[in-house]
Amino acid sequence: MNDTAATPSSSAAPPRHDFAAAEPRWQAEWERRGCFAVPDVPDGSKPKYYVLEMFPYPSGKIHMGHVRNYTLGDVVARYKRARGYLVMHPMGWDAFGLPAENAARERGIHPAKWTYENIANMRAELKRMGLSLDWSREFATCDVEYYGQQQSLFLDFLAAGLVERKESWVNWDPVDQTVLANEQVIDGRGWRSGALVEKKKLSQWFFSITKYAPELLDALKTLDRWPERVKTMQANWIGRSEGARVRFRLAEPVADLREVEVFTTRPDTLFGMSFLAVAAEHPLAAAVAARDAKAAEFIAECRRMGTSEAAIEQAEKRGYDTGLRVAHPFIEGASFPVWIANFVLMEYGTGAIFGCPAHDQRDLEFARKYGLPVRPVVLPPGADPKTFAIGEDAYVEDGTIFNSGFMDGLGVAAAKRAAIERLEATGQGKGEVTWRLRDWGVSRQRYWGCPIPVIHCDACGIVPVPKHQLPVALPEDVDFSKPGNPLDHHPTWKHVPCPRCARPARRETDTFDTFVDSSWYYARFCSPRAEVPVMHAAVDAWLPVDQYIGGIEHAILHLLYSRFFARAMKATGHLKIEEPFAGLFTQGMVTHESYRAADGSWLYPEEVEKRPDGTAVRVGTNEPVTVGRVEAMSKSKRNTVDPGAIIDRYGADTARWFILSDNPPDRDMEWTEAGVAGAYRFTQRLHRLVTAALPVLPPPGTPPAQDAANGPAKALRRATHRAIAAVTEALESFAFNVAVARIRELANAVAEAEAQAQAATSPDPALAAALREALETLTRLSGPMVPHLAEELWSLLRPGETRLVAELPWPEADPALLQAETVTLAVQVLGKLRATIEVPVDADEATIFALAEAQENVQRAIGGKPIRKRIHVPGRVVNLVV
């Protein structure tokens, strides 16, 4: 060793870690040994752990968001495996959806061909990442083996009364004659035709998720490993409201309508009523429109508003006075005008509201616009009832009811009870609980989705496809040159005999919302080749998913639908669980700077060169480039970085290490070239630390000296065991960036120890043994994050060892080495740091205070004033109050 050190020029540069050769080699070795394959039905010898990341949509290439998502999951999977769990970690493809149809229309590629080619590309890219996946479980939701089973599930749900057929509104493009997704509606116009979009009513299939609203809400309490904010968002989405249903009698009937029912959460403010408003889609609005052309025109305008809640709520509040009046339930002889208003949602409550402008902001804005009265009936504490008036803001807090007859003097809560009591006593209404959650409309007028397995027969009505006729497969010969749903204008596909009466009938040509596909894939992964939707022994053993990982953008819909599906599958005898995901982690997005050329066009990062003075120019032309905001990577802004190119240049381990080290995984991370380069240097440094130490290390298996005196060996052993404890804790709490920092600290300690070993005049066996322990620990702790490098280092440290890092148990920290003999205490005077003292861990308080007060700086801060109070937080701080 000394020879080498003395004559560096005589030997070649230290061997660098050749990731390009090593990574595929270790991937092949894991596969050869079947390290990550698990059986559908485990034998129970180990506890199970199911790690699942949200499966990708096969857009064609993986993006950094995927790299981040799957790296996070892989760390968990590898760590849990080391902790002795049998880990299932599958991967598949969320393969139905609009982009495939867009590709078909724009480029003439068949959606199936486009999709499966994309899957092949992306599978190859994922494999290069070295993920510990059980690829034998892979499937795509567009595989007929998958969606056929989904059709079977649908038939079970239908039989169990969990499916309904109802009318609902869709965005209709009158030029393209097509239903548009909300994202295809831009500023109220169709994205391709530019035509003003209209709302159109269609008969559609719905899953009765509202039947489970109370359960879906209550069970949130049991999800103790879900982020609070996701549970809050779901609770708000389900939206339980207590209130009252109130019947308002029309002064004169319209068509056959004699009254309007309103749901309100504020029956206490009924005396502050100034108008009643119904949604444009309300039956009363239709009845008025039948005899009032201006009303019909207003309703038609509302129909041009789009169906999204954001569009409705952000639109200017507008209304139409129908001229009708309703009687007030409590005020004898009083009547109020009936309006049609664009901000009233037909889907919520009864589609009608009573307006109390003084105590509801939207009502107030509406009343101000149309000159309707504003009568306060809730008095803020301390306000004078004679002078209290509403200005710009409605008063929505608690207070004392006034101007309200029998409710005067009550608080808001008591007044609500009193109002409901009176409504019930007089037969004009009742207390009621409503939910914001609506039934889940699953019909889509599209080709590239799972066909809904029912048949429309003129004689028998709607007839489910018998199970023995499943799957209802998509036809392959479809024509995308015409607008609309290719299934609908396919020449033969939809024409089938009725299963019941055998007369000519028509297949349903709608396909399922792709959220249906992703609502049960976690269950299918347990027995992916079963000829039933799920194999009982498999799902009972593996479910629930122990750790689910994905983007926060799915916090509501996907997760709620999946929770509903688990319940529906339980009700139909497929599952025994109700909650599919015991643990949830939501990751942040991957962001990057954006760049614009002088002409305003977006540039890819590789087209931009950063100058040392901080400016940026375009590669080749040297024209100036504007460096824009850091934002989510998107194709439209071209601020994307291709994971494949990063792996080519730096290797998968470097990409994984950087993505983990940059920041906490639930926050957005910024991808930077400098950051990747830094990660790359660290992987090389680890390799160097091991190769440089090899000549001094004792043989494999040499135990570290237990009784070493305080010195470099003991210090290194402490650092090693502190690192084990810290990294373990960080991994358990998803603080992967902290785990990285602790590993780096251990690497720094190793480097220092190596320098000491090199500098020593005579070899120190204790230090050498401690070095082996430290390097082996470093290797194993970094295994979940940089798995290929860890295997490489392990094979250098333990030539002839049969087990891979992927097969080793997790290192254990020795508690004796975690204890320090002394602690450093901060000494504060009045909360301000004035000194630090070093005391034995078992020092008594009197000694500590005496030592603290003796500090020169502390004396100066005390300035001779008497000490009123002494606070000692063991191991942390002493605070003296003077």
Ranges within 611-630 binding RNA (CB under 7 A): 629
Counting contacts by CB under 7 A, is residue 483 touching RNA?
A: no
Counting contacts by CB under 7 A, is residue 232 touching RNA?
A: yes
Counting contacts by CB under 7 A, is residue 99 touching RNA?
A: yes
Chain centroid, CA 500 distance in Å: 44
Ranges within 359-378 binding RNA (CB under 7 A): 361-362
Counting contacts by CB under 7 A, is residue 513 touching RNA?
A: yes
Taking the least distance from each CB to RNA, the nearer of 4 and 232 is 232
The residues with which 397 forms a beta bridge, in sequence order, are none
Counting contacts by CB under 7 A, is residue 203 touching RNA?
A: no
Residue 79 three-state SS: helix
DSSP code string of 294-319: HHHHHHHHHHTT-S-HHHHHHSPP-E
Taking the least distance from each CB to RNA, the nearer of 475 and 675 is 675
Distances (CA, A) of 304 to 173, 188, 346: 11, 7, 15
Stretch near RNA under the rule CB under 7 A, chosen from 111-119, 463-471, 644-652, 820-828: 820-828
Binding mask 583-612 for RNA (x = CB under 7 A): ------x-----------------------
Cβ neighbours, 10 Å, residue 47: 13
Ranges within 535-564 binding RNA (CB under 7 A): 552-558
Counting contacts by CB under 7 A, is residue 732 touching RNA?
A: no
Give, to the nearest 10 degrees, the angle between helix 111-128 and helix 19-33: 100
Counting contacts by CB under 7 A, is residue 819 touching RNA?
A: no
Stretch near RNA under the rule CB under 7 A, chosen from 246-254, 326-334, 500-508, 827-835: 827-835
- Output the smallest distance, CB 576 to RNA, in A: 27
DSSP code string of 251-292: EEEETTEEEEEEEES-GGGGGG--EEEE-TTSHHHHHHHTT-
Taking the least distance from each CB to RNA, the nearer of 322 and 518 is 518
Counting contacts by CB under 7 A, is residue 715 touching RNA?
A: no
Residue of 130, 123, 49, 60 whose CA lies nearest to 91: 123
Cβ-contact 867, 880 below 8 angstroms: yes
**Cα–Cα distance measured from residue 397 to residue 454, given in angstroms and rounded to the nearest whole number:** 51
Taking the least distance from each CB to RNA, the nearer of 31 and 106 is 106
Collect all residues with Cβ–Cβ distance below 8 Å to 190 and sequence separation of at least 6. Answer: 173, 175, 176, 178, 180, 184, 197
Taking the least distance from each CB to RNA, the nearer of 102 and 403 is 102
Binding mask 664-693 for RNA (x = CB under 7 A): x--xxxx-x-xx-xx--xx-xx--x-----
Stretch near RNA under the rule CB under 7 A, chosen from 175-183, 244-252, 406-414, 567-575: 175-183
Taking the least distance from each CB to RNA, the nearer of 526 and 827 is 827
- Output the smallest distance, CB 402 to RNA, in A: 25
Q: Is the dihedral of CA 613, 619, 625, 627 positive or negative?
A: negative
**Cα–Cα distance measured from residue 429 to residue 422, given in angstroms and rounded to the nearest whole number:** 9
Counting contacts by CB under 7 A, is residue 836 touching RNA?
A: yes
Q: Looking at 223, 260, 616, 740, which residue binds RNA (CB under 7 A)? A: 740
- Output the smallest distance, CB 187 to RNA, in A: 14
DSSP E strand boundaries for 398-528: 400-401, 429-435, 440-441, 443-444, 454-457, 461-464, 495-497, 504-507, 511-512
- Output the smallest distance, CB 366 to RNA, in A: 12
- Output the smallest distance, CB 756 to RNA, in A: 11
**Cα–Cα distance measured from residue 682 to residue 639, given in angstroms and rounded to the nearest whole number:** 26
- Output the smallest distance, CB 98 to RNA, in A: 4
Q: Looking at 408, 752, 814, 853, which residue binds RNA (CB under 7 A)? A: 752
DSSP E strand boundaries for 468-575: 495-497, 504-507, 511-512, 547-551
**Cα–Cα distance measured from residue 149 to residue 698, given in angstroms and rounded to the nearest whole number:** 59
Collect all residues with Cβ–Cβ distance below 8 Å to 458 and sequence separation of at least 6. Answer: 503, 505
Q: Looking at 120, 181, 598, 854, which residue binds RNA (CB under 7 A)? A: 181
**Cα–Cα distance measured from residue 82 to residue 76, given in angstroms and rounded to the nearest whole number:** 10
Residue of 507, 401, 524 whose CA lies nearest to 454: 507
Q: Looking at 514, 654, 777, 782, which residue binds RNA (CB under 7 A)? A: 514
Counting contacts by CB under 7 A, is residue 236 touching RNA?
A: yes
Counting contacts by CB under 7 A, is residue 857 touching RNA?
A: yes
**Cα–Cα distance measured from residue 663 to residue 669, given in angstroms and rounded to the nearest whole number:** 6
Please tell me the number of Cα atoms within 13 Å of 5 on its side-chain side.
Answer: 14
Cβ-contact 679, 732 below 8 angstroms: no
Q: Looking at 165, 166, 201, 229, which residue binds RNA (CB under 7 A)? A: 229
Counting contacts by CB under 7 A, is residue 834 touching RNA?
A: yes
Binding mask 862-881 for RNA (x = CB under 7 A): -------x-x-x--xx-x-x
**Cα–Cα distance measured from residue 529 to residue 527, given in angstroms and rounded to the nearest whole number:** 6
Counting contacts by CB under 7 A, is residue 182 touching RNA?
A: yes
Ranges within 423-452 binding RNA (CB under 7 A): 436-438, 440-441, 443-445
Give, to the nearest 10 degrees, the angle between helix 643-650 and helix 64-82: 60
- Output the smallest distance, CB 309 to RNA, in A: 3
Q: Looking at 488, 631, 642, 814, which residue binds RNA (CB under 7 A)? A: 631
Taking the least distance from each CB to RNA, the nearer of 414 and 871 is 871
Counting contacts by CB under 7 A, is residue 824 touching RNA?
A: yes
- Output the smallest distance, CB 639 to RNA, in A: 13
Q: Looking at 35, 219, 233, 839, which residue binds RNA (CB under 7 A)? A: 233
Token pair in block for residue 195: 């035509």
Considering CB under 7 A, how many residues would be counted as binding RNA?
104
Counting contacts by CB under 7 A, is residue 663 touching RNA?
A: yes
- Output the smallest distance, CB 634 to RNA, in A: 9
Taking the least distance from each CB to RNA, the nearer of 445 and 572 is 445
Taking the least distance from each CB to RNA, the nearer of 705 and 781 is 781
- Output the smallest distance, CB 371 to RNA, in A: 21
**Cα–Cα distance measured from residue 812 to residue 721, given in angstroms and rounded to the nearest whole number:** 8
**Cα–Cα distance measured from residue 515 to residue 526, given in angstroms and rounded to the nearest whole number:** 19
In which element (H, E) is residue 215 found?
helix 213-218
The amino acid present at 384, given as its one-letter code, is D
Please tell me the number of Cα atoms within 13 Å of 92 on its side-chain side.
Answer: 26
Counting contacts by CB under 7 A, is residue 572 touching RNA?
A: no
CA-CA-CA-CA dihedral for 556, 557, 558, 559, to nearest 10: 40
Q: Looking at 186, 833, 841, 867, which residue binds RNA (CB under 7 A)? A: 833
Stretch near RNA under the rule CB under 7 A, chosen from 21-29, 218-226, 594-602, 750-758: 750-758
Burial of 723 (0-12, 13-18, 19+ CB in 10 A): buried
Counting contacts by CB under 7 A, is residue 195 touching RNA?
A: no
Taking the least distance from each CB to RNA, the nearer of 173 and 292 is 173
Counting contacts by CB under 7 A, is residue 184 touching RNA?
A: yes
Stretch near RNA under the rule CB under 7 A, chosen from 17-25, 174-182, 283-291, 396-404: 174-182
Taking the least distance from each CB to RNA, the nearer of 557 and 843 is 557
220-224-226 Cα angle (round to 5): 75
Q: Looking at 218, 309, 477, 479, which residue binds RNA (CB under 7 A)? A: 309
Q: Looking at 228, 252, 256, 842, which residue binds RNA (CB under 7 A)? A: 228
